[in-house]
């Protein structure tokens, strides 16, 4: 019997793992694609390659996996347990006299595995990825030279300021340069030059253009003046952010530095409450897979007598799990406003775990499912009686004719 139990446990865990990986990949892919579209300007306007774009957007994947993993696990459990119920496997296990631990143990083992994965993501990988993402985005915004020296492309440096070069030589000279400046509300300027260079001088970033012209056009008018020059300097300093070192937010900081901010950290001094909330949120969120696992077993881990029972159990499972996680998000908002209430972040999943374990220990279906089933049966009986009366009256009317 012991070997049989191990075989069934491995069978359930293997099926749950497959369903979880497929579901997690699908859900993460959908969420990632929507997030990636927000960074599409890195390719279209900032001069980054598709490889850089993919790397930058992939840095947010650990956080996305952390968010969707409990729901992917929930769907995986529902798929596997519903399939086992439909194929009468749960009925056979129950009829053989096996303990409820035969199904509950692999559910718990898999839930703990997902919890361990989420602790790794929440305490290390997700904040590390977000910190690197912040650094990369800062580098893209600050590294103006890398953004604008893309030959053959019109690159908007900022609104109403567009840059174009024909080629960049090996020594860094910009050839066939064009700069269109329409930021002035009354006049637009177009600069052309045979060559140019970007240099740092007197704490300023200057575009020095050689052998070119300046075309000056009043907006809304037809007149245009052209001025030739041998050398002209265009100040680019205003387009470069002053802060070349990124400021990391609470979600982007190492877990154990959240409560031990360095001296002189201006962000930590202003947002100490956010750091406290972030610390406790990272430690409490991974508890939800265990709560989900117990809830799903409480609703779906035992055989159902009818398809109606099974359908109601699945619907209720999804509703209860969704409400539980929504309550967790709500608790985060509450604690953000009142950090002293951080125990609430732990209380919600722990209470859910306790209630689900209590329901399982009673060896009874959760009262909510039982109430729904009884209500559905009563509603079905009432509809049947009404329908029978209507059919009877119709038959009597037809007979009278």
Q: Is the pLDDT of residue 180 over 80?
A: yes
Contacts of 314 (CB under 8 A, 6+ apart): 78, 82, 299, 300
Provide the 3-class DSSP secondary structure of residue 218. Answer: strand
Share the mean pLDDT of the chain: 81
| pTM of the predicted model as reported, rounded to 2 decimal places | 0.69
Place of tokens 């967790």: 328
pLDDT value of position 294: 94
pLDDT value of position 210: 92
Closest C-alpha to 81, from 317, 376, 356, 321: 317
pLDDT greater at residue 117 or residue 53 = 117
Closest C-alpha to 66, from 135, 19, 128: 128
Predicted confidence (pLDDT) per residue in 218-231, tens digit = 887 778 888 999 99
pLDDT value of position 224: 84
Predicted confidence (pLDDT) per residue in 128-160, tens digit = 999 998 887 776 665 555 556 678 888 887 778
Predicted confidence (pLDDT) per residue in 365-384, tens digit = 555 545 544 554 555 556 55
Provide the 3-class DSSP secondary structure of residue 17. Answer: helix
pLDDT value of position 1: 44
Predicted confidence (pLDDT) per residue in 3-16, tens digit = 445 788 889 999 99
How many Cβ atoms from other residues are within 10 Å of residue 364's Cβ? 12
Alpha carbon distances (Å) from 269 to 30, 245, 274, 343, 380: 37, 18, 10, 23, 62
Closest C-alpha to 71, from 328, 372, 355: 328
CA atoms within 13 A of residue 373's CA, in its CB half-sphere: 17
Place of tokens 């220990």: 361
pLDDT greater at residue 250 or residue 47 = 250
């Amino acid at each position: 019997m012991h070997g049989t139990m191990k075989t069934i446990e491995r069978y359930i865990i293997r099926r749950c793992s497959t369903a979880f990986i497929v579901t997690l990949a699908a859900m993460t892919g959908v969420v990632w694609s929507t997030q990636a579209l927000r960074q599409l300007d890195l390719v279209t306007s900032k001069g980054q390659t598709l490889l850089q774009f993919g790397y930058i957007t992939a840095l947010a994947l650990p956080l996305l996996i952390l968010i969707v993993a409990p729901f992917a696990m929930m769907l995986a459990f529902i798929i596997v347990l519903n399939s086992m119920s439909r194929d009468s496997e749960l009925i056979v296990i129950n009829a053989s006299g096996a303990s409820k631990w035969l199904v509950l143990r692999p559910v718990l083992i898999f839930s703990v595995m997902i919890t361990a994965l989420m602790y790794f993501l929440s305490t290390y990988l997700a904040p590390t990825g977000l910190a690197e993402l912040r650094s990369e985005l800062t580098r893209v915004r600050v590294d103006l030279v890398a953004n604008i020296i893309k030959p053959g492309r019109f690159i908007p440096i900022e609104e109403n300021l567009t840059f174009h070069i024909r080629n960049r030589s090996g020594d860094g000279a910009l050839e066939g340069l064009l700069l269109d400046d329409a930021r002035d509300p009354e006049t637009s300027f177009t600069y052309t030059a045979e060559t140019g260079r970007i240099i740092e001088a007197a704490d300023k970033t200057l575009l020095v253009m050689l052998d070119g012209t300046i075309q000056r056009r009043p907006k809304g008018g037809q007149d245009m003046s052209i001025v030739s020059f041998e050398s002209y300097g265009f100040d680019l300093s205003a387009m470069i952010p002053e802060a070349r070192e990124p400021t990391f937010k609470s979600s982007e900081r190492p877990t154990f530095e959240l409560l031990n901010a360095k001296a002189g950290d201006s962000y930590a001094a202003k947002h100490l409450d956010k750091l406290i909330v972030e610390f406790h949120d990272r430690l409490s969120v991974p508890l939800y897979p265990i709560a989900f696992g117990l809830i799903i077993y409480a609703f779906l881990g035992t055989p159902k007598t009818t398809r109606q029972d099974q359908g109601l159990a699945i619907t209720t499972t999804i509703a209860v799990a969704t409400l539980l996680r929504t309550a967790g998000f709500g608790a985060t908002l509450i604690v953000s406003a009142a950090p002293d209430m951080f125990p609430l972040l732990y209380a919600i999943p722990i209470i859910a775990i306790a209630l689900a374990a209590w329901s399982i220990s009673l060896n009874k279906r959760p009262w909510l499912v039982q109430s729904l089933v009884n209500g559905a049966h009563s509603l079905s009986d009432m509809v049947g009686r009404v329908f029978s009366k209507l059919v009877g009256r119709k038959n009597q009317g037809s007979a009278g004719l």
